[in-house]
Amino acid sequence: MFRKSALLLVVFLLTVSSLFAQLNIQDSVIFTPLISATFGYQFPGGDLARQFGSNASIGGSIMFKTKHNWLFGAEGNFMFGQTVKNSDSLLKIISTELGFIIDANGYYADMVYYERGYNFFVKFGKVIPLLAPNPNSGFTLLAGAGYIQDKIRIHNPGNTAPQLYGDYKKGYDKLNGGLAVTGSLGYMYLSNTRLVNFSLAFEFMQAWTQPFRERDFETGKQDTRKFSSQFYSVRVSWIIPLYRRVPKEFYMY
């Protein structure tokens, strides 16, 4: 199913690209699909800032730029971080008085905690061709709505602690998710030669999430809280525009 969907997407993009082939990006506003690979760095605020520190994200997007410089499309990102706050109390009900987990061999188990999550958005915006090499580049304003989810990844090297096998681990991971909206201000550069195409943006995200687990093992109760969190991000994208530029030389026979 996934292979069929990916094949259909490739065929669609190649078809769109061929329909708008031989376009001159330097002196005219063109329609073109834009495929991007993105790296971002996020600083959390609100409720999730009490659980996690800063994190990074990697992802991709498919956007369409119209002949009037409107942008619309979708993107998805995988989030990962290494700062989990209050991790020393996360497993307190199965820890010793000194805070250690005893594994199946009778030794202290090694425990490592990570932040993991993902998000995806539908986005809409505008290119403002200022300080740009052509009318298809310039400052960008984007807004979007979508979904976000994150959790604590609890890693026990070697899986030596049976207290954290399978569903037992899920009781401590603080899995939560919900709706999110985002807005960004950036700059997109599409070169006249197609050799260098990138964007840089500052993004703000507001998320409203809630816990998904039926029971939080840390408290022994169901977590019914509602979270309101923010993310402040810097994002860099490498862009592949799907059009063919007009040849610089013409030949007469």
Q: For residue 111, give the nearest of 96, 122, 124 by alpha carbon.
A: 96
| Residue 73 identity (one-letter amino acid) | G
In this prediction, residue 169 carries a pLDDT of 92
Q: What CA–CA distance (Å, rounded) separates 176 from 213?
A: 8
State the burial class of residue 21 (Cβ atoms within 10 Å of its Cβ: 0-12, 13-18, 19+): exposed
Buried b (16+ CB within 10 A) or exposed e, 90-110: bbeeebeeeeebebeeeeebe
The whole-number pLDDT of residue 253 equals 47
pTM for this structure? 0.85
Smallest CA-to-CA distance from 59 within 160, 207, 252, 201 is with 201
Task: Please give the CATH topology (third level) of the domain spanning 30-241.
Answer: Porin (2.40.160)
Return the closest-CA partner of residue 78 out of 176, 172, 150, 136: 150
pLDDT along the chain (253 residues), means of 10: 55 49 75 97 96 97 97 98 92 91 93 97 97 96 98 94 91 96 98 91 98 90 94 97 64 45
Helices and strands, counts by H and E, the chain: 2, 8
CA distance 4 to 10: 10
- The reported pLDDT for the residue numbered 194 is 81
94's tokens: 């199965």
CB atoms within 10 A of CB 19: 9
